Amino acid sequence: MSIEDTELPQPFGTGGKARLLPLEEGLGKMRAAMAAKPDPQMVVAGRTSAVAMTGVEDAKARIKAYSEAGVDAIFIVGAKTREQLDALSAVTDKPIILGGSTPELSDSEYLAARGVRIALQGHAPIMAAAQAVHA
């Protein structure tokens, strides 16, 4: 289960732009999820889009805080470069889920060395299936 630190549902009038919760509120969500976890086999991933929305330094602070709160994994959305991923992965020892990878972040050996255990490749498989259905 991923618990994210964006404001959901998005408030009316934001034009579809996501907004991050304050760090303390996001941290509260992570702590609540861990406290309510019904089964030790269940994985709770602390998800943040901070790198794309507020920058690397804020993302590092969030990742460090969520890791210290005990989440099982960190879900990073919006990292586009090796420099960003190097900085973000350095502040956690948790497994990383990388959402929306770029060509620069496609080397599986590089990703594994930074703790990335899952690298989502976007919606290409769904698009291929949709095209096949309508061909």
Q: Enter the pTM of the model.
A: 0.86
In this predicted structure, what is the pLDDT of residue 124?
73
pLDDT digits (tens, 9 = 90+) for 103-120: 899 899 999 999 999 998
* SS3 track for 6-72: ECCCCCCCCCCCCCECCHHHHHHHHHHHHHHCCCCCCCCEEEECHHHHCCHHHHHHHHHHHHHCCCC
In this predicted structure, what is the pLDDT of residue 15?
64
Residue ranges of the chain with per-residue pLDDT less than 50: none
Query: What is the CATH topology of the domain spanning 2-133?
Result: TIM Barrel (3.20.20)
